[in-house]
């Protein structure tokens, strides 16, 4: 790979506007004020570069400058600002550690602007849409895992009820292993609205509940489907169970009460993909 | 529930032999010298009491004495030492926090002796055995999740290669949500030995690899089966892929490289249970 001349912008104060954006985003587990997701770790940065997102800025600590240079060389749109609009910033190791959401930061970080199509177009983008609605999900690792499974099994969209964890929580971003950059996520959509959307676009609403009498594999999941998954521990609210088209459980061995929410969602998505012949 | 007289043993020094056992077990993520697993949190303690394990001791901080009393009342073999051999110990909140593996301990802890049948009898205990062999798995959360799925889908045993994470790591215990108390785990079993056991007992050895040409759902998993799962990131070693009866992948959407190890194992176990009609 040919080395390119590289311009780095040195930032040495936590009050620098760029570092403030990283800090606020990671501390709150939310987007920056201008709508960017803060991302940490080389693997996630590579995922961002192969996804339809806009990488706005790269940030590295001084000790990772060589890693940054290799990364820029391997990703032609990254780096000096000559190719695209991506700028590379370097700060001290101390400041980087103070900012980063992990105890042992991996050396590179980025601000990434996600591209999310309008919700209704995502739901009708494929002949048989597959989506999940997470109502009150709390654990960021579970959310990230569900996004990863959603992509793996051809899901079109993730809808988050008003009380669900933020998909921009650093743990959710990490657990998604890059799927957050490719699967559209819609936040703060109330259950009623989701049920209404499902009806209008011909998706069956399947609520997962461990005590349901119907087994998930007995349903026809080749139809357009949205799976409703509830909060860890307490599950879905009763009124939602009443309003869903179907309430189903993952069949489990005797004596086993439930699976965790991410596992239940992933198995439901696998079962749908299996019935569809694993074709998107 | 009738209140029973209760005897509590107060322990006020980290040098007390009981507290040393908790501390060593949690710090090292291993069994105590006398073969007990240290467990924290009311939910896991309830799981222990409904499992075929021996609860050796209960421990609570002073501020959780009422919680301990309620727990003893609800679990007749717990408590004063009158019914069984279980003794309850109380220590200061400060010492309990210093010992506990979580930042916000939930108030109750126990030492639990697991009952593990001989490996060969576990493999032949059911008409069509289902087992997993984890070769170099590193993440305790993944191990716990796999144990939970193994129980949920009727698995008979979990075999751990020599370099795998300890099942007694507090994060593995927590993620197993009690399945560790019911699914037998065998540590430090080399791949060659597992393959040899599989052959002798008529189990097909199915290695999971994301780049395999064969899709998992094309295999007949109603036969006795052991799934081999590799290390996070690097997967199974090449020589194992050569020696396995089958190498298969979970079918994934275009562009998706792999699932995490716990998810892949759980989906394989689900697929086997599905083919078996979800009967144990």
Asked if B106 is an interface residue toward chain A (Cβ–Cβ < 8 A), one would say no
Nearest to A267 among B177, B179, B270 (CB): B270
Give the separation between CA A53 and CA A30, rounded to whole angstroms.
Answer: 17
User: How many domains does one find in chain A?
Assistant: 2
Residue of chain B whose Cα is closest to the Cα of A233: B43
Identify the CA nearest to B95 among candidates B208, B6, B16: B16
Last residue of a domain, one of B53, B86, B113: B113
Would residue B205 count as lying in a domain?
Answer: yes
Q: Coil, strand, or helix at residue B105?
A: coil
Judge: A278–B154 Cβ closer than 8 Å, yes or no.
no
Give the separation between CA B136 and CA B168, rounded to whole angstroms.
Answer: 16
Query: Residues B217, A274: contact at Cβ < 8 Å?
Result: yes
| Same domain assignment for residues A217 and A89 | no
Taking one residue from A and the other from B, the number of pairs with CB-CB distance under 8 angstroms is 74
Q: Which residues of A touch B255 (CB under 8 A)?
A: 182
Using alpha carbons only, give the angle B17, B21, B23 rounded to the nearest 5 degrees: 115
pLDDT given for residue A5 in this prediction: 52
| Same domain assignment for residues A87 and A223 | no
Asked if A142 is an interface residue toward chain B (Cβ–Cβ < 8 A), one would say no
Give the separation between CA B225 and CA B206, rounded to whole angstroms.
Answer: 7
pLDDT given for residue A275 in this prediction: 97
* pTM, entire model: 0.92
- The number of beta carbons lying within 10 Å of the beta carbon of residue A125 is 12
| Same domain assignment for residues B167 and B249 | yes
| Beta-strand pair B185-186/A185-186 | unpaired
Give the separation between CA B199 and CA B182, rounded to whole angstroms.
Answer: 25
| Same domain assignment for residues B123 and B199 | yes
Q: Which two tokens stand for residue A58?
A: 């790269």
pLDDT tier at A201, thresholds 50, 70, 90: very high
Q: What is the pLDDT of residues A240-258, one digit of tens each?
A: 999 999 999 999 998 898 8
Identify the CA nearest to B271 among candidates B247, B245, B249, B254: B249
d(CA B57, nearest CA chain A) in Å = 25
pLDDT given for residue B106 in this prediction: 81
Q: Which residues share a beta bridge with A214?
A: A248
Using alpha carbons only, give the angle A26, A32, A35 rounded to the nearest 5 degrees: 135
| Same domain assignment for residues A92 and A149 | no
| Same domain assignment for residues A102 and A155 | no
Lowest-confidence region among A118-122, A164-168, B216-220: A118-122
Would residue B184 count as lying in a domain?
Answer: yes
Average pLDDT, chain A: 91
| Same domain assignment for residues A93 and A19 | yes
Identify the CA nearest to B198 among candidates B243, B261, B147: B243
| Same domain assignment for residues B93 and B40 | yes
pLDDT given for residue B77 in this prediction: 67
What CA–CA distances, in Å, run from A102 to A39, A45, A109, A214?
11, 15, 12, 42
Span A149-160, mean pLDDT? Answer: 97
pLDDT given for residue B81 in this prediction: 45
Would residue B2 count as lying in a domain?
Answer: no
Helices (H) then strands (E): counts for chain B: 10, 12
Q: Scanning the structure block, which residue is given the tokens 């590799």? A: B230
Q: Which residues of A touch B271 (CB under 8 A)?
A: 270, 274
| Same domain assignment for residues B80 and B148 | no
| Same domain assignment for residues B60 and B126 | no
The terminus-to-terminus CA distance of chain A in angstroms comes to 35
Mutation choice for A interface testing from B274, B275, B276 by most A CBs within 10 A: B274
Asked if B91 is an interface residue toward chain A (Cβ–Cβ < 8 A), one would say no
Judge: A259–B148 Cβ closer than 8 Å, yes or no.
yes
**Per-residue DSSP letter, B195:** H
CA atoms within 13 A on the CB side of B124: 8
Give the separation between CA A100 and CA A35, rounded to whole angstroms.
Answer: 19
pLDDT at residue A62 is higher than 60: yes
Give the separation between CA A269 and CA A154, rounded to whole angstroms.
Answer: 8
Asked if B152 is an interface residue toward chain A (Cβ–Cβ < 8 A), one would say yes
Asked if B250 is an interface residue toward chain A (Cβ–Cβ < 8 A), one would say yes
pLDDT at residue A181 is higher than 60: yes
| Same domain assignment for residues B130 and B268 | yes
Q: Which two tokens stand for residue B4?
A: 């029973």
pLDDT at residue A80 is higher than 80: no
What CA–CA distances, in Å, run from A139 to A175, B4, B14, B238, B247?
11, 39, 34, 36, 33
Would residue A3 count as lying in a domain?
Answer: no
Asked if A214 is an interface residue toward chain B (Cβ–Cβ < 8 A), one would say no
Last residue of a domain, one of A86, A113, A140: A113
Asked if B177 is an interface residue toward chain A (Cβ–Cβ < 8 A), one would say yes
Would residue B1 count as lying in a domain?
Answer: no
Q: What is the mean pLDDT of each run of 10 residues along chain B (280 residues)?
A: 64 93 95 95 93 93 92 71 69 94 88 93 88 97 96 96 96 96 97 96 96 96 97 94 97 90 96 90
Give the separation between CA A194 and CA A228, rounded to whole angstroms.
Answer: 10
Quote the radius of gyration of chain B (alpha carbons, Å): 21
CATH label of the domain that carries residue B234? 3.40.1280.10
pLDDT tier at A2, thresholds 50, 70, 90: very low
Last residue of a domain, one of B89, B113, B137: B113
Question: What DSSP assignment string belongs to A13-48?
Answer: -TTSHHHHHHHHHHHHTS--TTS-EEEESHHHHHHH
Judge: B148–A254 Cβ closer than 8 Å, yes or no.
no
pLDDT tier at A107, thresholds 50, 70, 90: confident
Q: Coil, strand, or helix at residue A254?
A: coil
Mutation choice for A interface testing from B47, B253, B268, B275 by most A CBs within 10 A: B253
d(CA B10, nearest CA chain A) in Å = 34
pLDDT tier at A79, thresholds 50, 70, 90: low
Asked if A212 is an interface residue toward chain B (Cβ–Cβ < 8 A), one would say no
pLDDT given for residue A1 in this prediction: 43
CATH label of the domain that carries residue A53? 3.30.1330.30
Judge: B152–A260 Cβ closer than 8 Å, yes or no.
no
Domain that holds residue A46: 8-113
Judge: B259–A148 Cβ closer than 8 Å, yes or no.
yes
Residues A229-266: b if buried by 16+ CB within 10 A, e if exposed: bbbbeebbbeebbeebbbbbbbbbbeebebbbbbbbbb
| Same domain assignment for residues A214 and A178 | yes
Asked if A256 is an interface residue toward chain B (Cβ–Cβ < 8 A), one would say yes
Would residue B250 count as lying in a domain?
Answer: yes
Give the separation between CA A167 and CA A39, rounded to whole angstroms.
Answer: 12
Would residue B158 count as lying in a domain?
Answer: yes
CA atoms within 13 A on the CB side of B72: 29
């Amino acid at each position: 790979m040919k080395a390119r001349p590289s311009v780095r912008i040195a930032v040495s104060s936590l009050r620098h506007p760029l570092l403030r954006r990283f800090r606020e985003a990671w501390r709150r587990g939310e987007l920056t004020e201008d709508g960017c997701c803060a991302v940490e770790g080389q693997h996630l940065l590579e995922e961002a570069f192969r996804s339809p997102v806009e990488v706005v800025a790269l940030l590295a600590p001084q000790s990772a400058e060589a890693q940054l240079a290799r990364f820029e060389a391997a990703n032609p749109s990254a780096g000096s600002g000559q190719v695209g609009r991506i700028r590379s910033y370097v700060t001290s190791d101390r400041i980087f550690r103070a900012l980063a959401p992990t105890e042992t930061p991996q050396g590179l970080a980025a601000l990434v602007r996600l591209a999310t199509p309008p919700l209704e177009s995502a739901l009708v983008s494929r002949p048989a849409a597959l989506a999940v609605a997470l109502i009150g999900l709390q654990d960021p690792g579970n959310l990230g895992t569900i996004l990863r499974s959603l992509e793996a099994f051809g899901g079109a969209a993730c809808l988050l009820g008003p009380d669900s964890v933020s998909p921009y929580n650093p743990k959710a971003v990490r657990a998604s292993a890059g799927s957050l950059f490719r699967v559209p996520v819609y936040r703060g959509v109330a259950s009623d609205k989701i049920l209404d959307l499902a009806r209008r676009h011909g998706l069956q609403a399947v609520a997962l509940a461990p005590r349901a009498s119907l087994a998930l594999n007995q349903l026809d999941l080749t139809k357009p489907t949205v799976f409703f998954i509830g909060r860890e521990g307490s599950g879905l609210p009763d009124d939602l169970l009443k309003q869903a088209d179907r309430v189903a459980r993952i069949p489990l061995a005797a004596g086993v009460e439930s699976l965790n929410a991410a596992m239940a969602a992933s198995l439901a998505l696998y079962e749908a993909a299996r019935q569809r012949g694993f074709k998107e």
